[in-house]
């Protein structure tokens, strides 16, 4: 049976930190679906379509084959169940992520205990990366080319051409 995992997140935008987790998870799973899920506390810098475009171009750029991208307005765990995923993946960058992830994991377990959560530790050199940090750096003229795929830089230049 095909081993499918779902990696949910806002991906607003995707970063090399997310891609590192994805590439490592593909050593274990036959297919990983990056799921753009909605977080009611976040307004969204990029539209879902823009996020998808950046992700798909990053797959091409890095030669990532067994990954897909999708979007849900509902619960991530319901989506995972629907596509037959055995696992949901998340990254942990620091101890500060743990409490949030612990609660999210408990909520997901309450909704559907059959879908397991698996956590990957970020590599230390990527542990400071966040989507909002990328945005702040870009807007302040910092070179972000080592932190995000080329597709993200292209999208920033198109959407915010002043920098």
The binding site for ligand COA (CB under 6 A) comprises 8-10, 12, 15, 17-18, 21, 37-39, 42, 75-77, 91, 93, 104, 107-108, 122, 126, 129-132
Active site residues: 18, 42, 93, 131
Distance CA 30, CA 66 (A): 7
Name which of 31 and 45 has its Cβ closer to ligand COA: 45
**Phi, psi of 90, rounded to the nearest 5 degrees:** -140, 155
Shortest separation between residue 136's beta carbon and ligand COA, angstroms: 9
Name which of 107 and 142 has its Cβ closer to ligand COA: 107
End-to-end CA distance of the chain: 48
Name which of 53 and 105 has its Cβ closer to ligand COA: 105
List, as one string, the DSSP characters of 31-44: EEEEEEE--TT---
Return the residue nearest ligand COA (CB atom): 17
Shortest separation between residue 92's beta carbon and ligand COA, angstroms: 8
**Structural contact between residues 24 and 12, judged by C-beta atoms closer than 8 angstroms:** no
- Tokens 């989506």 locate to 79
Of 133, 94, 145, 120, whose CA–CA distance to 22 is shortest?
A: 120
């Amino acid at each position: 049976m095909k081993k499918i995992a779902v990696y949910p997140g806002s991906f607003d935008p995707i970063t090399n930190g997310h891609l590192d987790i994805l590439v490592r998870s593909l050593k274990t799973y036959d297919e990983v679906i990056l799921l753009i899920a909605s977080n009611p506390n976040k307004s969204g810098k990029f539209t879902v379509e823009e996020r998808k475009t950046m992700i798909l171009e990053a797959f091409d750029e890095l030669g990532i084959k067994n990954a897909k991208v999708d979007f849900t307005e509902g619960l991530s765990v319901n989506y995972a169940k629907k596509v037959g995923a055995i696992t949901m993946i998340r990254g942990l960058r620091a101890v500060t992520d743990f409490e949030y992830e612990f609660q999210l994991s408990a909520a997901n377990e309450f909704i559907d205990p059959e879908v397991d959560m698996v956590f990957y530790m970020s590599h230390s050199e990527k542990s400071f990366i966040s989507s909002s940090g990328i945005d702040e750096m870009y807007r302040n003229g910092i070179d972000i080319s080592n932190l995000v795929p080329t597709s993200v830089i292209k999208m920033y230049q198109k959407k915010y051409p002043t920098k």
